[in-house]
């Protein structure tokens, strides 16, 4: 269906050309589109607002990344199973059965599987199938004995005995869930169960066949009585041999007296655990074990059983047990001890031997193996069910994925958020819509500096559920005056859930031209505030020092001598004169320059004002404009695992759509009277008005207008105005000359 003659449509959005995917033919011809024209060549399967199951289907190698080749393969597979490729554009959550292309073998198989799913769900008369129908395999296979996963529940067997065996396997080896959600067993666990039965049965048979193993205690309980005290009697005779070897160890072998004091400091019972750890009887070199009095009371019951079941039947009615007699008993019970030590360790050990032999004598193993084979034979049908689910998801999701992969249609169109936009951050009277999750902080740190964008990293916590995530939000409008680490906001994910958000890191870059324009003035105001604060602090310190000196002088007034007259600091006076002269010269220069500008008309005044503004704000605006033109989304997405192939710019107009500043709703009523507004003193405003009037008067007087209007009674001679207007008047000069001559005479 692909053709090299396919005509593509492109739009220039965001400063670069992006292909428009408007039809199924556009999608099917993507293999022919030069990948240099793709916006992205790879994307991660995590951190996206996209169906994870669809992404898992597309990610055929399951490496956590989707590449261009995998996207193309998914589109071609889905396109081959649909009669009309335009169904891939409609993004429907359900698929009409008539839309499946049954002219191919695979299409016919998928169609049959779709119909079988509806039958299994009890809705065989429906003509379309949805994602809800295929997303829950437990519903699809709930009524099926076999579902192709190799796991069989107990009810899969037809006879009660085999069902009981399967239940035993599930109980001993743990359940496996099949596609219907029922507990069952698989081949591996069944094989392990029957192998353990054989091993345990062979071990039990040795007892029956070997008379030495059965020994004298087959029916008297001698084995249990012997093994109950075997370790403790061995310990007793070992201690006696050690005492015979070195009498100095005798006290330690019988336990220290302090241990008895600790034990008797509280109420104890005969079976107390601390007492059971003491020797079986008093230790002495070569001493026999008393079987009556002198025994550790914690072991009296066990020794009594041992005497009744073992000693008397084999040694007679004796009052003590010598080490030689004990050695004879060990030899008698050695075969049984060895057999007992060889008992297989497995889950089936809890079963009675009779139950083990009952199962082995039946045909349960053969039946279970056959059931598993029958179930596996249905594997292809189950795979076909998965194909139906994949096809429905593909026809719903592939176009949207392509619109966020081959092009960035969702991002730049604004109709819906892009799949990498995970929510909206509300902070500092703004809403930031370009928010992405942060997976690898280290990778972000090395990449985001190239984005040229003002970024705020935020830790987000949802206290209700304890969920945590880290996001990075791009601020693309407004200013950064109130943005700082530690500020709190609220983040809403795409599901509408709210998280507490706190700024933990900022990557500083220009945000807007408005911020750049006002930046020099704000810096100037901050500089003045800092200087005023410094001067106020210095003045406060000086005043405090003077008060302290005055207090000290007053306290020592009776001891003080007459102070010499204060000398005037000539240098200080001269410095003040120079300073005031400089200030006066500055204002005189301003007035002189202003008069020259005014002389050239109103346009010159406006031009001068604009020139001053450009002189102050121009460099900041130019620098910000250059940086704002370089804002690029690519490094931010690359830091999240994407492979961005285009220069996805965030220019100034586009940036204003990604960050919204507050606006009053249309038609809102706005009361401008603030009852809590600070009351202002009118005198500063009046002083400013007076200064402006004075400056205007000085300017007009300098230009000669005041003298003309007052007839020379105020202001400078009219000569200045004549010169300003370009006229030459000789009379004043003559008068001046005459006056000079008179003075000379």
> Alpha-carbon distance 238 to 233, whole Å?
8
Cβ count near 731 (within 10 Å): 8
User: Per this entry, what is the length of the chain?
Assistant: 745
- Whole-Å CA distances, 507 to 426, 476, 636, 684: 18, 13, 12, 41
pLDDT (tens digit, 9 = 90+) per residue, 412-423? 988 899 999 999
Determine the pLDDT at residue 721: 46
> Alpha-carbon distance 289 to 320, whole Å?
5
Determine the pLDDT at residue 529: 63
Return the closest-CA partner of residue 116 out of 392, 383, 381: 381
Determine the pLDDT at residue 568: 47
Contacts of residue 233, defined as CB under 8 A and 6 or more positions apart, other chains included, come to 280, 289, 321, 326
Q: What are phi and psi of 42, to 5 degrees?
A: -160, 155
Determine the pLDDT at residue 313: 87
Determine the pLDDT at residue 401: 96
The domain segmentation of the chain, as residue ranges, is 9-143+378-411, 152-208+355-376, 220-345, 420-509+631-660, 684-744
Determine the pLDDT at residue 420: 94
Structural Rg of the chain based on CA atoms: 50
Query: What does the DSSP 8-state code read for residue 662?
Result: P
Give every residue of the chain whose pLDDT is below 50, as ranges.
1-3, 568-573, 575-576, 578-580, 718-745
With beta carbons less than 8 A apart as the criterion, state whether 491 and 430 touch: no
Classify burial at 496, counting beta carbons within 10 Å of its beta carbon; exposed 0-12, middle 13-18, buried 19 or more. exposed
> Alpha-carbon distance 86 to 25, whole Å?
7
């Amino acid at each position: 269906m692909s053709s090299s003659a396919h005509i593509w449509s492109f739009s220039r959005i965001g400063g670069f050309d992006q292909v428009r995917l408007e039809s199924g033919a556009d999608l099917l011809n993507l293999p022919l589109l030069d990948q240099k024209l793709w916006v992205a060549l790879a994307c991660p399967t995590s951190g996206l607002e996209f169906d994870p199951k669809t992404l898992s289907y597309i990610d055929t190698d399951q490496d956590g990344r989707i590449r261009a080749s995998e996207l193309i393969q998914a589109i071609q597979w889905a396109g081959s199973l649909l009669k009309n490729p335009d169904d891939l554009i409609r993004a429907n959550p359900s698929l009409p059965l008539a839309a499946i292309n049954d002219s191919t073998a695979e299409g016919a198989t998928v169609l049959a599987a779709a119909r079988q799913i509806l039958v299994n769900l009890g809705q065989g008369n429906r003509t379309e199938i949805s994602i809800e129908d295929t997303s829950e395999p437990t519903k699809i296979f709930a009524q099926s004995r076999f579902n192709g996963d190799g796991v069989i529940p107990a009810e899969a067997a037809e006879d009660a005995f085999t069902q009981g065996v399967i239940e035993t396997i599930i109980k001993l080896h743990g359940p496996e869930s099949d596609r219907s959600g029922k507990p069952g067993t698989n081949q591996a666990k069944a094989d392990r169960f029957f192998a353990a039965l054989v091993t345990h049965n062979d071990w039990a048979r040795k007892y029956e066949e070997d008379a030495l193993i059965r020994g004298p205690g087959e029916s008297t309980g001698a084995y249990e009585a012997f093994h109950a005290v075997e370790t403790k009697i061995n310990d007793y005779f070992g201690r006696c041999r050690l005492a015979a070897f070195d009498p100095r160890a005798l006290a330690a072998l019988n336990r220290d007296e302090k241990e008895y004091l600790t034990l008797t400091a509280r109420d104890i019972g005969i079976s107390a655990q601390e007492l059971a750890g003491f020797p079986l009887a008093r230790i002495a070199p070569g001493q026999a074990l008393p079987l009556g009095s002198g025994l550790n009371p914690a072991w009296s019951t066990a020794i009594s059983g041992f005497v009744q079941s073992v000693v008397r039947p084999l040694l007679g009615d004796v009052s003590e047990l010598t080490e030689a007699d004990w050695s004879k008993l060990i030899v008698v019970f050695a075969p049984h001890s060895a057999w007992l030590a060889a008992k297989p360790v497995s889950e089936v050990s809890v079963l009675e031997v009779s139950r083990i032999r009952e199962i082995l004598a039946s045909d349960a193993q053969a039946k279970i193996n056959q059931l598993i084979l029958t179930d596996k034979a249905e594997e292809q049908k189950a795979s076909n069910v998965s194909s139906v689910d994949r096809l429905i998801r593909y026809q719903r999701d592939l176009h949207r994925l392509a619109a966020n992969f081959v092009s960035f249609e969702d991002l730049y169109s604004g109709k819906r958020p892009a799949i990498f936009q995970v929510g909206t951050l509300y902070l500092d009277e703004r809403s930031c819509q370009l928010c992405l999750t942060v997976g690898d902080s280290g990778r972000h740190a090395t990449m985001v500096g190239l984005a040229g964008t003002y970024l705020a990293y935020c830790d987000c916590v949802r206290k209700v559920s304890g969920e945590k995530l880290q996001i990075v939000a791009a601020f693309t409008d407004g200013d950064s005056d109130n943005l700082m680490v530690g500020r709190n906001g609220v983040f809403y994910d795409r599901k509408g859930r709210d998280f507490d958000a706190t700024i933990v890191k900022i990557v500083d870059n220009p945000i807007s031209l408005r911020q750049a324009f006002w930046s020099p003035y704000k810096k100037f105001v901050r500089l003045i505030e800092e200087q005023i604060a410094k001067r106020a602090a210095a003045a406060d310190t000086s005043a405090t020092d003077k008060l302290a000196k005055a207090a000290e002088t007053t306290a020592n007034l009776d001891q003080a001598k007459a102070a010499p007259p204060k000398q005037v600091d000539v240098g200080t006076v001269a410095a003040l004169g120079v300073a005031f002269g400089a200030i006066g010269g500055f204002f005189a220069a301003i007035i002189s320059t202003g008069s020259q500008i005014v002389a050239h008309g109103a346009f010159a005044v406006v031009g001068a004002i604009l020139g001053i503004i450009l002189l102050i704000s121009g460099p900041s605006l130019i620098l910000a404009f250059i940086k704002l033109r370089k804002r690029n989304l690519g490094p931010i997405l690359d830091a999240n695992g994407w492979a961005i192939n285009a220069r996805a710019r965030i220019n100034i107009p586009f940036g204003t759509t990604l960050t919204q500043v507050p606006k009053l709703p249309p038609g809102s009523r706005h009361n401008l009277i603030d009852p809590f507004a600070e009351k202002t003193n009118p005198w500063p405003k009046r002083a400013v008005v007076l200064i402006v009037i004075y400056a205007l008067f000085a300017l007009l007087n300098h230009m000669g207008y005041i003298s003309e209007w007052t007839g020379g009674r105020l202001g400078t001679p009219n000569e200045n105005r004549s010169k300003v207007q370009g006229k030459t008047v000789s009379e004043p000069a003559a008068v001046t000359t005459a006056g000079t001559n008179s003075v000379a005479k």
